[in-house]
Amino acid sequence: MEGNLHRNKGLRWQVPFFFLFSWLYHSVSGQIHYSIVEEMRKDSVIANIAEDLGLDITSLSSRKLQIVSQVSEKYFYVNLGNGNLYVKDRIDRETLCGSAPTCSLILDAMAENPLYFFNIKIEIQDINDNAPVFIHDIITTYKLSDNQYFSLSETTKEDGSSFPELVFEKPLDRETQTIHELILMAFDGGNPVRSGTALMKIIIGDGNDNLPKFTQNVYKVSVNEKRAINSTVILVEATDNDEGTNAQIPYSFSKSSENIHHTGMFTINSTNGEVKTNRAFDFDKIKNFELSVQAKDGGGLLAHAKVLIEVIDDNDNAPEIIVTSLTSSIPEDSEPGTVIAVIRVHDQDSGENGEVDCQIGENVPFELIPSSNRFYKIVTTKPMDREKILKYNITVVATDRGSPPLSSRRSIILEISDTNDNPPVFLKITYVPYVSENNLPGASIYSVKASDPDAGHNAKIIYSIYNAKAEDLPLSTYLSINMETGVLYAQRGSKSPTTSFSTSLYPPMDPRVLSMYSDGTLTLPYPYNFCVTLDSADNDFTIVPPNENVPVENLIDTDDSGLGSENSKEPLAKKSTEQWTTVI
């Protein structure tokens, strides 16, 4: 069955503007035309669209090749492993297109990275899979059994189908023959030809020698799809030159009007020929109706006329916004032009009622760029700042051009993820603590604090002390600092009467910054001064590890012979509103 396929590769490329188009939109479009027969088996191969489009089969999954049109994806699917387009469900041409001379399905497909849109037009060819049946099926030829009184006349409708009319060939003699039985045969145009038959019984009435006649052979009328139920659509009229009951003409719909589209949609007054609506119109489903009305006099003679009803579209469908691709989070340092979403808009109305304008809210760093086939991209217009705005609620508004216009909205939430774009900052540039004589080795003597507006791992701060010297000894013999909390500890007890030194603290660093310096040093853009005064009379220095079990607020000076003797019973540190300050 795959051998019957006809491929027409119709890719259309705008070569002179390719590079400009790619720079602006990062997307291309194309179209392929295939032809298949109806009733193909499920999972039959139609074609390899990856090959026909020049796509790399190994990249189909990563590029998310997919069919995005809702109607067509019911009947077809793409295998991302081999690039083949397959039949997904039974395709019945008569169900899809009725008796239309051509029948096609349009697939909208999309691939990402880079963004690529294309159309696949699949033409459905008819096979002879239906036997002719009276009333509903398409019949090409009628034949009447041999007789001397009647013949057939075929009337062709606009869609190419026909229905027969029985015509008298010579006057009838009721007294000679009251009933005529005829066999009507119908043949379709298939190969092999199929046929059906119907038995007709014709009862001859007396004296009714005039046929009814409509005032027009074809009646045309246009109605708005919002026309109320039970409202008049048109009035048909027929006359008969006979008299009495033979001149009484009831109106009705002929059997040729009874199909799935027309059944129950209209009523006709049998007395005056008034055609009314019986159900609401839906322009999106049926745009035109063709009715066959008949006038039958009291003797059984018939006249036929066509009623062509055109439904005028009313703007009764709001546009639909479909998000086909979405990025829920982007880093705050993303380059302008980063694609965060791809959307498609669709309106079931026709004409201007189906034309849609799409836009996003103002005062947001995003832009809506139209692509092809009513696809749009939402891209960034400038870098983000997570410290100012954590997330954006982007509202997409689609408005049609009907009167009055209808619109719909769709919200897209975009989270901004953090990048390490802010250095840590001390709360003060200069700290001046004082340490009493005979301080306990390992005691907490001060606390510094820094902050970082970044988030998560980027906001973690590491404290350290510049490797300076005091009294020709490394500063680390006097002080240490908790790298996580910023608490300073005395490493020795004091011996000299008064010792002062100053040093610089490293700017607090998060682990990502620190990892950039393997030797653990960093050139300071500005100093953080730290001045320490030691006072002692009798204690030698002792090198000890930090004693974190001695909190700052509980250290007590028990020797009142040196500095701070007047306040020897006061805690060494108190917490103010600005900083931790050592009290002597």
Q: For the structural domain made of 425-582, what CATH number should be given?
A: 2.60.40.60
Query: Can you say how many angstroms the Cα of residue 261 is from the centroid of all Cα atoms in its chain?
Result: 32
Q: What is the DSSP string of 171-235?
A: ---TTT-SEEEEEEEEE-SSSS--EEEEEEEEEPPSS-----EES-SEEEEEEETTPPTT-EEEE
The whole-angstrom separation of Cα 32 and Cα 52 is 8
Contact 557, 436 (CB under 8 A): yes
Q: Is the pTM of this model over 0.85?
A: no
Q: Which CATH number fits domain 213-313: 3.40.630.30, 2.120.10.80, 2.60.40.60, 3.30.70.1290?
A: 2.60.40.60
Contact 315, 399 (CB under 8 A): no
Query: In the block, which residue shows the tokens 């030698």?
Result: 540
The whole-angstrom separation of Cα 87 and Cα 360 is 38
Contact 448, 442 (CB under 8 A): no
Lookup: tokens for 232? 């008049």
Lookup: tokens for 121? 């037009």
**Residues pairing with 295 in the sheet:** 251, 303
Contact 364, 316 (CB under 8 A): no
Q: What is the DSSP string of 267-289?
A: EE-TTT-EEEE-S---TTT-SEE
Domains 128-204 and 425-582 share a fold: yes
pLDDT tens-place string over residues 58-111: 888 888 888 887 767 788 888 888 988 899 888 888 888 888 889 988 888 888
The whole-angstrom separation of Cα 201 and Cα 150 is 12
Query: In the block, which residue shows the tokens 């006979």?
Result: 242
Q: For the structural domain made of 320-417, what CATH number should be given?
A: 2.60.40.60
- The pairing of beta strand 218-224 with beta strand 302-312: parallel
Q: Which fold has domain 2-125?
A: Immunoglobulin-like (2.60.40)
CB atoms within 10 A of CB 545: 10
Q: Which amino acid is at 154?
A: E
Q: What is the DSSP letter of 361?
A: -
- Which superfamily is assigned to 128-204 in CATH? Cadherins (2.60.40.60)
What was the pLDDT predicted at 469? 65
Closest CA relative to residue 442, chosen from 575, 581, 552:
552
Query: Can you say how many angstroms the Cα of residue 555 is from the centroid of all Cα atoms in its chain?
Result: 66
Contact 445, 489 (CB under 8 A): yes
* Domain ranges within the chain, ordered by starting residue: 2-125, 128-204, 213-313, 320-417, 425-582
Q: Specify whether the backbone of 135 is left (phi greater than 0), alpha (psi in -120 to 50) or beta.
A: left
What was the pLDDT predicted at 576? 30
> Within the chain, which residues score under 70 in pLDDT?
1-30, 71, 131-140, 159-162, 174-175, 206, 256-262, 315, 435-438, 467-471, 493-584
